[in-house]
Amino acid sequence: MLLLDDLEIDIFSLEELKKQAEAQFNNISELVENLANKKILLRIERGKYCRANFRDESVIGCRLVEDGVIAYWSALNKHGITEQFPNQTFIQTTRVKQHKIVFGVPYKFIKINPEKQTGIIDEGYGNHRFRITDIEKTFVDCFDLPQYCGGYDELIRAFNKVPLNGNKLISYTKDTRNYSVVKRIGFLAELLDKPGLKSFVRESKKNINKRYTLFDPRGEDQGEFVNGWRLRLNMSRETILQICNTSF
């Protein structure tokens, strides 16, 4: 434990600890197991441990899979974009990982293609560092897979109130390779006259297909057809604007 204090480590894998302390101990696995049995350390999963009082959900979640990134609803909340708290922590990864519960916290792993894993920044410090999608990538991901964003109304409201970088949106929507995402975000940016996104709107109109897409992918197949965006507004413009002008 003195070694962990010296190295300022609260969470670690057995392999990491061996690399840092193999010169001082030749029985690290046995020592860690002994401390875990005494509940001084807690086992997160096989080969991964933390101190008994460590509970940072973001750090733990990213440690559960090698390329884990805080994303979707969890990222919206972490960035302070929404006050709604997710009932589970969403981790984006390029690997297959079974959902699991650690210390009472459910973790949901969403597998994506490697080319979609962009727009990642580091937060935290030292041993408490974790990866998270930046604000623009978080919105692109949520419009790509809205079932993980905590509600479409809240996503629209958040999009309206947060300043966004148009160049980042152009880059991330291209990485996503999802025409529906381009249409939904482009239409919203134009409808709301979002500052700084005119170039994004122009670029988006060049990158849409001819097939009509539902604005709300989980809504009914009805509503106004918007030719310029090849969108069907199953949520009216008036409703969208009302959502943006409502705060909770």
DSSP states along the chain: -HHHHHHT-SEEEHHHHHHHHTTT-S-HHHHHHHHHHTTSEEEEETTEEEETT---HHHHHHHSSTT-EE-HHHHHHHTTS--PPPSSEEEEESS----EEETTEEEEEEE--GGG--SEEEES-GGG-EEEE-HHHHHHHHHHSGGGTT-HHHHHHHHHHS---HHHHHHHHHHHT-HHHHHHHHHHHHHTT-TT-HHHHHHHHTS--SS-EESSTTS-S-SEEEGGGTEEESS-HHHHHHHHT---
Do 113 and 144 fall within a single domain? Answer: yes
* Better-scored residue on pLDDT, 190 or 18: 190
Do 19 and 96 fall within a single domain? Answer: no
* Better-scored residue on pLDDT, 44 or 26: 44
Do 128 and 164 fall within a single domain? Answer: yes
Do 90 and 140 fall within a single domain? Answer: yes
Q: Is the pLDDT of residue 119 over 70?
A: yes
> Of 15, 35, 54, which closes a domain?
54
The residue among 32, 26, 30 whose CA lies nearest residue 13 is: 32
* 77-102 residue pLDDT tens: 999 998 888 999 999 999 999 999 99
Do 12 and 106 fall within a single domain? Answer: no
Do 168 and 232 fall within a single domain? Answer: yes
* 151-161 residue pLDDT tens: 899 999 999 99
Q: Residues 6 or more apart from 108 whose CB is under 8 A from it?
A: 88, 89, 90, 91, 99, 148
Do 158 and 238 fall within a single domain? Answer: yes
Do 36 and 137 fall within a single domain? Answer: no
Do 62 and 8 fall within a single domain? Answer: no
Do 100 and 39 fall within a single domain? Answer: no
Domain range enclosing 14: 2-54
Q: Is the pLDDT of residue 248 over 60?
A: no
Do 12 and 114 fall within a single domain? Answer: no
Interatomic CA distance for residues 85 and 27, integer angstroms: 42
Count of structural domains within the chain: 2
* pTM of the shown model: 0.93
Do 40 and 103 fall within a single domain? Answer: no
* Better-scored residue on pLDDT, 7 or 13: 13
